[in-house]
Amino acid sequence: MPDISIAITGSSGFVGTNFIKSNTEFSIKEIDLLVTKVSDIDFTGIDSVLHLAALVHQMKGAPEEQFYKINRDLAINVAKTAKASGVKHFIQMSTIAVYGEQTNISIHSKPNPINAYGKSKLQADEEIIKLQSESFKVTIIRPPMIYGGGNAPGNMMRLIKLVSKGYPLPFKGVNNQRDFLNIDNLVQIIELIIKKQLAGTFLLSEYNPVSTEQLINIISNELDIRNRQLKMPAFALYLLKKIKPSEYQKLFGSSVIESNFPNKDEVNWKTCREGIGEMVKWYKSISTH
């Protein structure tokens, strides 16, 4: 297969570092948008652009306008510059957050973001899709929470830390279902998208949602500690759902994604247990120092 040249923005982030670490097939040019103006980017000889640079939802306290400046305006400008420079394929890393708090999500679901992160990503997606032409393919990737690979940012690592402390957690009997995506699975999917120049909007998942109770079971087993889960009274769940529906959804709600990625059989899927095991191993390594 001929060498494919790609440019990656946001290459120092979690997805970018894992993608570059596993790369054996592509010629990669890293672009740091903190020091390089979009107008100064040289896309000469670049076949595909993987746009990962973003202000993510974990960055609490960031001014709302910054989400639109970085996630929307910057992304659109990078895409326009790439197209004008003759790049043939643009991959925009979006998020399942564009669908808000819906519990069953498919490609036919209507986007309904609830915060500046989701709204800014959706607006970028919509404008970048408009740039698509016969000579400029556009791919939008919408993954759920990404985990694995050691120190993954976000709620999964926070949950591992919480379980490790041995506190009783109120998730026994909670039959919710949530989809996640291991970073190694995501990297393989991105590689396939680039090699096959797959265009379109792709919702991703591992085709195997788990409940919060099951997730804590896995974490407890990997930590080799007693699994301490309590059953929350039904009236308490009812009150939480009534008074703080958003918090209820985060803790006890479902988020099942019907993935429409067409080449799933070509992915060597890493399981949830394997991914959690990697994170627990990393957590143990830093906890002993």
Tell whether 24 is covered by a domain: yes
Tell whether 197 is covered by a domain: no
Query: How far is Cα 181 from Cα 174, in angstroms, rounded to an integer?
Result: 21
CB 70 within 8 A of CB 117: no
Tell whether 163 is covered by a domain: no
Q: How many domains does the chain have?
A: 1
Tens-place pLDDT, residues 173-195: 988 999 999 999 999 999 999 99
Q: Is the dihedral of CA 187, 192, 197, 202 positive or negative?
A: negative
Tell whether 198 is covered by a domain: no
The list of the chain residues with pLDDT below 50 reads: 1
Question: Which pTM was predicted?
Answer: 0.93
Q: The CATH number of the domain where 10 resides is what? A: 3.40.50.720
Tell whether 270 is covered by a domain: no
Tell whether 261 is covered by a domain: no
Tell whether 56 is covered by a domain: yes
Q: Which domain holds residue 40?
A: 4-142
Tell whether 240 is covered by a domain: no
| Amino acid at residue number 42 | D
Give me the count of residues in the chain: 289
Q: What integer pLDDT is reported at residue 184 of this predicted model?
A: 96
